Amino acid sequence: MFEIPQYSLSSQETLWFLLLATVLLALTRIIKPFNRKLETNQQNEKLPKDDEIEPLWDFDFRKEDPIKYQPYKTQGHVTMGIQKRVRSDWIRMDRGYLSRIEERLPLIRNKAEFTIGTGEVVNPAIEELYEEIMIRYLPARFPTMFKTQGGKLVKNLATGTTYPLTTTGLTHAQMLAYMGENVEASIDTSSVYPATTSSIEDFYFMCPDPNGDYRLQGYIACFPGGFLSPARVGESVREIHKPVPGYERKLGLSVDRYFARMKPGDFIGRMNWSLQVDGADLFRTDGNNYYPGTDQVVSDYKEDPSLDESFLRVEHQTLTKLPRSGAVIFTVRSYMTPLHQVKAEGDGKALAQAIESMPQGLGHYKMVQYWGRKVLPWLMEDV
């Protein structure tokens, strides 16, 4: 049988013991938060900040109205026009979701050679974006639409389809196709005006080359606003925008520098706009622009357009940089608003004044010299 020796502390030893205990307790309270902060910082270096995604627990896309964009009131013509965004607002959904997905599916499945772009340079970024959006973002942001199943699949409750919760076993073309079939930000305002439409998200991958220039290397692009993406693969941002009057002089170098300075996790937005006077078709390889010195043929209806077929086309672009690959992702969705609607809402004069204030070269690029003689006086008329 063991005996425990009895030992009593003197009053002086008791005092020193109490002082030591107090110091240790204080140090513990200081060190614990520091360790937690250090651990959190280490985790944030490895994982995306999913806690920055605010879940929409009561979200119903069928009741969600589209955002009204009026860049002609607030944004200059040849400017970056950048505004900071938060990660939660990266992808938007609204009430035209199902109808626009149905419009996009045939393009993805039947015209993949035009709509899906992969390659050795861009494939790591494609895989990274799939993880960011399909695995992390959608289930976290829209839990009423995207539900994980058994840790292997995500079910799209709106369409009834599923997609893998991993990139294992998927080709990079399949990853892009899954993104194209699920990520959408469309509008359906048929109750207001039957022809109002918008596109779902198109993604363009700008990857840095050895010289630090960002070049288009991949895409899922079903609704281009002026060119077929395969023809532009390998081009830099400046080369893609070379036809835009004033771009090189005002923005060329600043855009390159801005891309280089962007940090992973930054989200910025900008808008571009033009008039489309020959219908609401979102798939436009010729665009709404004039290219002097080329064999471009301008149709007669550009000079005498039908006002019923004339639209304001707005591109809302979101840019972010991926942490592993360093690729800058352009997320683009295009909104088509009938000019009749713009005028009915009292904005006809504001739009006309914005068009008239364009520098001459930019106005010609946007074909004002053709449709302007008819459209501008009509927009200036009182409602």
What's the confidence (pLDDT) of residue 133?
95
* Rounded Cα distance, 365 and 244, in Å: 7
Tokens 């944004």 identify what position? 75
What's the confidence (pLDDT) of residue 300?
82
Cα–Cα–Cα angle for 235, 238, 241, nearest 5°?
95
- Grouping H, G, I as helix, E, B as strand and the rest as coil, residue 64 is coil
Check pLDDT > 80 for residue 286.
no
Rg of the chain, C-alpha, whole Å: 27
Find residue 153's DSSP bridge partners.
149, 164
pLDDT in tens, 155-213: 999 999 999 999 999 999 999 999 999 986 433 333 333 344 444 578 999 999 998 88
58, amino acid identity: D
Average confidence (pLDDT) over 254-276: 84
pLDDT in tens, 268-282: 888 888 899 988 877
What's the confidence (pLDDT) of residue 3?
40
Average confidence (pLDDT) over 67-93: 73
Please tell me which residue, 328 or 9, carries the higher pLDDT value.
328
What's the confidence (pLDDT) of residue 54?
92
pLDDT in tens, 231-253: 889 998 777 777 666 655 666 56
295, amino acid identity: D
Q: What is the domain partition of the chain in residue ranges?
A: 63-380
